[in-house]
């Protein structure tokens, strides 16, 4: 088992809502710092600033009626904790990793979804709020570039997040009143889920190979 000091990973699970922006930020920062009201207030404030600058006829889409936020809202929210966000060109994240630049957090966005990946104790975690149980998924260093490229291939843009704050102590009061969709996931449970997927994948491959073998059995002339 890889060495992991924190023992747990904070994760937020998305249900039938469009609050992936909230889940994305909180999972990235590893604590329930933001809620829909806070992000909506930031979005409305940005709307007002744009009205003053561009006039009332300008379109304002920092937050829609379903609670989906744009990157301006997420960027302003992360500024509260001293973070900086910048958009990346295709394959730029992979290039940074190949050059051994310090990369600790990335945000991914499609037209309908936000999620983040975060490096904690030198281990990368996929913190997508739509992940199945237990939530966080380990991304090996070997697979990281392929993971990023795969996201880009299906239409995701990504953003580099720097100057991330120190992780809260796992006994911090910030975790004292978690909601049902917010959880501290034991690292050992993440490992068990990963290993179970590997076993299942191996069994499925064996079954597929067996079917292929049986299909080729018979007489040949």
Spatial distance between the Cα atoms of 126 and 68, rounded to a whole number of angstroms: 21
- Positions annotated as catalytic residues are 20, 113, 128
**Token pair 């909180």 in the structure block, residue:** 26
Angle between the N-to-C axes of helices 20-29 and 71-79, in degrees from 0 to 180, rounded to the nearest 10: 30
């Amino acid at each position: 088992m890889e060495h992991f000091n924190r023992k747990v990973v904070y994760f937020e699970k998305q249900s039938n809502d469009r609050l992936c922006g909230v889940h994305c930020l909180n999972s990235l920062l590893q604590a329930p710092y933001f809620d829909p009201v806070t992000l909506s207030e930031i979005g409305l404030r940005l709307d007002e600033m744009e009205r003053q600058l561009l006039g009332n006829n300008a379109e304002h889409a920092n937050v829609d009626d379903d609670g989906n936020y744009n990157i301006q809202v997420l960027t302003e929210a992360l500024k509260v904790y001293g973070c900086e966000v910048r958009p990346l060109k295709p394959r730029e994240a992979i290039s940074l990793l190949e050059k051994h630049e310090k990369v600790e957090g990335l945000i991914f966005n499609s037209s309908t979804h936000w999620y983040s990946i975060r490096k904690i104790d030198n281990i990368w975690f996929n913190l997508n709020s739509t992940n199945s149980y237990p939530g966080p998924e380990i991304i090996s260093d070997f697979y990281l570039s392929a993971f990023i490229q795969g996201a880009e291939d299906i239409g995701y843009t990504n953003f580099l997040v720097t100057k991330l704050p120190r992780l809260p102590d796992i006994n911090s009061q910030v975790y004292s009143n978690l909601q049902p969709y917010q959880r501290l996931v034991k690292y050992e449970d993440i490992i068990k889920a990963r290993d179970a997927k590997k076993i299942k994948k191996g069994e499925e491959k064996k079954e597929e190979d067996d079917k292929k073998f049986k299909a080729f059995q018979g007489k040949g002339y």
